[in-house]
């Protein structure tokens, strides 16, 4: 079933709690096969305006062609609307799609997970489902209108979780209200997953990319908790960005190269220190 939701310009946001819990070092033990897509990182725009996007998934699917595909997931979530678009594209694939959660599939990433006909979660991994998050500014009338929109988005997501699992929409909505973390075995019991993922398929790699993601997420969480809007946080991260290309492709393997080189901050420890100083100044310390 194809799901389409109009956002009226609303941007969904990652849960700070999910971002804190996410371990970017958890990956598939074996990767880079010709029929595998990896969803590691933020759904939609990440700190540098990149991340796991529909464009990248489309490129990966074109490269795979008319074959079964396996999608490995370890993601703190991100843009719900991008997640729905990716879900729809995977659902449209002509061959079987298998989705596997290695560490976390939170929020928008849990929507991507639902696209698999075969859905597996590691015993040590988690799904996280919750109501849509956003950051807003506006008068009371605008905020009321957006709250009404968000209620509809949440109802649509509860319907999708219910359709996939066979649980009632009311039960799924209650889990979303509580921002619920669902371990692998429980995900199978609820019908959200079709089976458990073998521990041999999961590993933890302390790569340069993982270290950078940990530093970036620490900065993002700290600044978000300090009340800095997403747009200002993205501007701050952009100021740290260098012209150095990333060593690896990031969000998806088998995807076409991005229009411009992905980049990293060359000295994230200095960036984190600068962000901490800025956060302290915002708090008046």
Residue 69 and residue 179: Cα distance in Å, rounded? 30
Of 144, 153, 187, the C-alpha closest to 173 is 153
Of 254, 160, 248, the C-alpha closest to 205 is 248
Q: Which residues of 165-181 are buried (b: 16+ CB within 10 A; e: fewer)?
A: bebeeeebbebbeebeb
Q: Over 70: is that where the pLDDT of 93 sits?
A: yes
Q: Which residue has the higher pLDDT, 48 or 84?
A: 84
Q: Where does the pLDDT of residue 29 fall: very low under 50, low under 70, confident under 90, or very high at 90 and above?
A: very high
Q: Over 60: is that where the pLDDT of 268 sits?
A: no
Q: Where does the pLDDT of residue 275 fall: very low under 50, low under 70, confident under 90, or very high at 90 and above?
A: low
Residue 277 has a pLDDT of 59
Whole-prediction pTM value?
Answer: 0.76
Residue 121 has a pLDDT of 98
Burial of 125 (0-12, 13-18, 19+ CB in 10 A): buried
Q: What is the mean pLDDT of residues 123-142?
A: 86
DSSP letter string, 194-256: SEEEPGGGEEE---HHHHHHHHHHHHHHHHHHTT--HHHHHHHHHHH--SPBPSS--S-TTPP
Residue 45 has a pLDDT of 76
Q: Where does the pLDDT of residue 248 fall: very low under 50, low under 70, confident under 90, or very high at 90 and above?
A: very low
Domains of the chain: 16-204 (3.90.226.10), 208-282 (no CATH)
Mean pLDDT computed over every residue of the chain = 81
Residue 70 has a pLDDT of 96
Q: Rg (Cα) of the chain, in Å, rounded?
A: 18
Strands 118-122 and 126-129: unpaired
Residue 155 and residue 177: Cα distance in Å, rounded? 11
- Close Cβ partners of 270 (under 8 Å, ≥ 6 residues apart): none
């Amino acid at each position: 079933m194809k799901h389409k939701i109009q956002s009226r310009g609303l941007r969904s946001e990652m849960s700070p709690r999910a971002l804190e819990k996410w371990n970017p070092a958890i990956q598939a033990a074996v990767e880079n096969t010709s029929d595998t897509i990896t969803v590691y990182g933020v759904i939609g725009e990440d700190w540098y305006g990149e991340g796991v996007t529909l464009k990248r998934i489309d490129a990966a699917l074109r490269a795979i062609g008319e074959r079964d595909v396996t999608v490995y997931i370890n993601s703190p979530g991100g843009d719900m609307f991008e997640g729905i678009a990716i879900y729809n594209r995977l659902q449209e694939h002509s061959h079987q799609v298998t989705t596997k959660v290695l560490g976390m599939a939170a929020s928008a990433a849990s929507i991507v997970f639902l696209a698999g006909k075969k859905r597996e979660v590691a015993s040590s991994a988690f799904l996280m489902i919750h109501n849509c998050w956003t950051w807003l500014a506006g008068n009371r009338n605008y905020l009321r209108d957006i709250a009404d929109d968000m209620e509809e988005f949440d109802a649509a997501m509860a319907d999708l979780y219910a359709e996939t699992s066979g649980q009632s929409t009311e039960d799924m909505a209650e889990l979303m209200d509580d921002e619920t973390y669902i371990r692998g075995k429980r995900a199978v019991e609820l019908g959200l997953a079709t089976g458990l993922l073998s521990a041999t398929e999961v590993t933890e790699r302390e790569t340069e990319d993982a270290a950078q993601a940990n530093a970036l997420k620490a900065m993002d969480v700290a600044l978000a908790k300090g009340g800095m809007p997403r747009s200002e946080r993205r501007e701050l991260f952009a100021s740290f960005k260098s012209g150095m290309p990333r060593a690896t492709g990031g969000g998806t393997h088998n995807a076409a190269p991005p229009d411009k080189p992905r980049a990293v901050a060359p000295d994230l420890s200095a960036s984190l220190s600068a962000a901490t100083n800025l956060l302290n100044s915002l708090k008046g310390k």
